[in-house]
């Protein structure tokens, strides 16, 4: 790591105690309103920071969405993956969503050797192409325009039979919007079938939090339900829900009849059948599958199952299938074996520079955000950058809990372990993520969201007090908005709001201040700021620091 050595600042030796970055996941800066859970909550410490830090010129608002975090346009909400990429990489990284959009909508993907190899096999064997992924325009894991582009690519390549396996969102889009996307998809399929006499249909589906899209090995049953429905044609069933339907719309309406308030993300799995009662999209030997999600974390486990790696459930069927990811989901695991688009990767994230300077680092989050504070933070690299100078702690989330019923989640445990790490005096730079704002915000339950905000406020206060006791500096920020904009108490998606960046330095004597000359400061400016506060100049690859020295 010699190439990542840093130059010391001449006019600032760095913090005397530990530098600690606090990331309040999903807590943005929103307008005061009844739908702002942070505003409605009792958050005296965050209120204090927002009041006092600007007076010292140690407070900034940062862009956390759209092009500021590498997404295609400023219409796209930020998310935890792209945010932690920017925070840990010190720059704007061209994100998976942008790469997918460019490859599909330009048609370059369909000119590739990989595409021609797959489609030629399917045409030669009269086999089916299956497209599986999240059906929405949330642009966090997928986008419906990418699915439509793949359908057009299959049509133009003369693939005559396609089955779509729809994972329903209700999380990055309104909670009961699935029928809108199903209607759009049905219209697209009908258009192709009518003009080309092809056989393109929806075959199965289910809610993203219930079916297929588990992450960080929280609950393999989620993946199993997806495998059973998509691959084997076997849905969830109980006394009041058959699981077999003539259309996706019928399946969604049936689930809502049982529970009118159910969010799309929790819909049970379903399978579409023909007039004879047979599944129309059960996968067979020689079929091809493309996972059209571009984001990796919720595509890893299902990909391991298709690639016959260490999957954690018993398969009810196991056909020989050609499986492709839209992008590579995990480079270290070479997962999946087949994919179309190379993922973004940063060769010199912040952690690499800190390792080169032998700076001891500590990172902690509960399971829901552990990959963000490690893998995504480190420029999409699995594992430690340098284990000799890093310690990662995962606080296990409870996979069985209904988050809105337990809005405190594992916040207290994260706080306690972080304070223990600070008390050990073993670490110079520490980073932590509190998942509550994002995860509870996604439930749409504003009463739970208020509790989440109050819980995070108390945890941040305790950590900052410990940092100040140790003569250190605390940085309080967020990765994107969510909790501060919940509509009528039912909004589940992220927001386009900026996030706070506050510096709390008990030894501050005017040595530095926020640099207001930076136009549209964003999350990519944080890494250089961290280096400055540790006493180092930023590398040329990093965006400017948020502070300037007096």
pLDDT in tens, the chain (550 residues): 667 899 999 999 999 999 999 999 999 999 999 999 999 999 999 999 999 999 999 999 999 999 999 988 899 899 999 999 999 999 998 889 999 999 999 999 999 999 999 999 999 999 999 999 999 999 999 999 999 999 999 999 999 999 999 999 999 999 999 999 999 999 999 999 999 999 999 999 999 999 999 998 999 999 999 999 999 999 999 878 899 999 999 999 999 999 999 999 999 999 999 999 999 999 999 999 999 999 999 999 999 999 999 899 999 999 999 999 999 998 888 999 999 999 888 999 999 999 999 999 999 999 999 999 999 999 988 899 999 999 999 999 987 567 989 999 999 999 999 999 999 999 999 999 999 999 999 888 999 999 999 999 999 999 999 999 999 999 999 999 999 998 765 567 789 999 999 999 999 999 999 999 999 999 999 999 999 999 999 999 999 999 999 9
Superfamily of domain 97-341: BPG-independent phosphoglycerate mutase, domain B (3.40.1450.10)
Contact 467, 57 (CB under 8 A): no
The confidence score (pLDDT) of residue 1 equals 63
Structure tokens at 461: 């206060």
User: What pTM did the predictor assign?
Assistant: 0.79
The pLDDT, as a whole number, for residue 490 is 56
Instruction: Determine the pLDDT at residue 460.
Output: 98
80 is catalytic: yes
The closest alpha carbon to 328, from 80, 110, 103, 68, belongs to 103
Q: What are the residue boundaries of the structural domains of the chain, listed by start?
A: 2-94+345-549, 97-341
Strands (E), 401-462: 429-434
Two tokens, residue 7 = 């130059």
* Contact status, residue 157 vs residue 110, Cβ threshold 8 Å: yes
104, 303, 440 from 381: Cα distances, Å: 25, 18, 27
Q: What is the pLDDT of residue 239?
A: 79
pLDDT of residue 181: 98
Long-range contacts: 409-414, Cβ < 8 Å, 24+? 409/366, 409/368, 409/435, 409/436, 409/439, 409/440, 409/452, 409/455, 410/366, 410/435, 411/366, 411/435, 411/436, 411/455, 411/456, 411/459, 412/455, 412/459, 413/366, 414/364, 414/365, 414/366, 414/459
pLDDT at 486: 87
In total, the chain counts a number of residues equal to 550
Contact between residue 234 and residue 206 where contact means Cβ atoms under 8 Å apart: no
Superfamily of domain 2-94+345-549: Alkaline Phosphatase, subunit A (3.40.720.10)
Q: DSSP 3-state helix, strand, coil percentages of the chain (rounded to 5)?
A: 35, 20, 45
Residue 275 CA to residue 277 CA, distance in Å, equals 5
Q: Give the pLDDT confidence score for residue 25 in this predicted structure.
A: 97
* HEC sequence for 334-348: CECCCEEECCCCCCC
Q: Record the tokens describing residue 444, joined without a space.
A: 């749409």
Q: Are strands 361-366 and 390-395 parallel, antiparallel or unpaired?
A: parallel
Name the catalytic one among 35, 80, 136, 303. 80
- State the Cα–Cα distance between residues 542 and 250, nearest whole angstrom: 51
In this structure, is the dihedral angle defined by the CA atoms of residues 487, 492, 496 and 500, taken in order, positive or negative? positive
């Amino acid at each position: 790591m010699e190439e990542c050595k840093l130059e010391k600042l001449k006019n600032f030796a760095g913090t005397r105690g530990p530098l600690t970055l606090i990331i309040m996941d999903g807590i943005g800066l929103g307008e005061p309103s009844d739908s702002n859970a942070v505003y409605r909550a009792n958050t005296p410490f965050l209120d204090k920071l927002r009041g006092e830090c600007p007076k010292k010129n140690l407070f900034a608002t940062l862009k956390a969405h759209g092009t500021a975090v590498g997404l295609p346009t400023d219409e796209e909400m930020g998310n935890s993956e792209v945010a932690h990429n920017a925070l840990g990489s010190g720059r704007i990284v061209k994100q998976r969503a942008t790469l997918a959009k460019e490859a599909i909508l330009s048609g370059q993907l369909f000119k590739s050797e990989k595409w021609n190899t797959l489609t030629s096999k399917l045409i030669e064997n009269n086999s089916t192409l299956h497209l599986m992924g999240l059906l929405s325009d949330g642009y966090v894991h997928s986008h419906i325009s990418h699915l439509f582009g793949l359908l057009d690519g299959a049509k133009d390549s003369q693939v005559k039979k396609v089955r779509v396996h729809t994972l329903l969102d209700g999380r990055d889009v309104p909670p009961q919007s699935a029928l809108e996307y199903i209607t759009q998809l049905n219209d697209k399929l009908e258009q192709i079938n009518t003009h080309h006499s092809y056989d393109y249909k929806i075959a199965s589906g289910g809610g993203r939090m219930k079916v297929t899209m588990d992450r960080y090995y929280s609950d393999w049953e989620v993946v199993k339900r997806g495998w059973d429905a998509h691959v084997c044609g076997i849905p969830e069933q109980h006394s009041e829900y058959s699981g077999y339907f003539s259309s996706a719309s019928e399946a969604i309406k049936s689930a809502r009849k049982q529970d009118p308030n159910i969010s799309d993300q929790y819909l049970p799995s379903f399978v579409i059948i023909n007039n004879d009662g047979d599944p129309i999209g059960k996968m067979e030997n020689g079929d091809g599958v493309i996972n059209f999600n571009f984001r990796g974390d919720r595509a890893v486990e299902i990909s391991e199952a298709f690639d016959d790696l260490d999957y954690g459930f018993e398969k009810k069927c196991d056909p020989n299938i050609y499986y492709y990811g839209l992008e590579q989901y995990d480079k270290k695991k070479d997962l999946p074996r087949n994919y179309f688009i190379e993922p973004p990767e940063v060769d010199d994230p912040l952690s690499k520079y800190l390792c080169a300077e032998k700076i001891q680092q500590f990172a902690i989050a509960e399971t829901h955000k552990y990959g963000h504070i490690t893998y995504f933070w480190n420029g999409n690299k699995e594992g430690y950058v340098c284990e000799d100078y890093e310690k990662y702690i995962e606080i296990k989330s409870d996979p069985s809990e209904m988050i809105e019923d337990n809005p405190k989640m594992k916040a207290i445990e994260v706080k306690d372990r972080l304070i223990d790490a600070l008390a050990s005096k073993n670490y110079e730079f520490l980073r932590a993520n509190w998942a509550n704002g994002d995860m509870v915000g996604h439930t749409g339950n504003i009463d739970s969201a208020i509790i989440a905000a109050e819980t995070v406020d108390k945890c941040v206060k305790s950590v900052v007090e410990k940092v100040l006791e140790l003569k250190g500096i605390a940085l309080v920020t967020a990765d994107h908005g969510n909790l501060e904009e919940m509509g009528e108490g039912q909004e589940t998606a992220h927001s386009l709001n900026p996030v706070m960046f506050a510096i709390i330095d008990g030894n501050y004597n005017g040595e530095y201040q926020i640099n207001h000359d930076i136009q549209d400061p964003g999350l990519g400016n944080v890494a250089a700021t961290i280096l400055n506060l540790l006493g180092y100049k930023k590398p040329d690859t990093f965006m400017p620091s948020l502070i300037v020295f007096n």
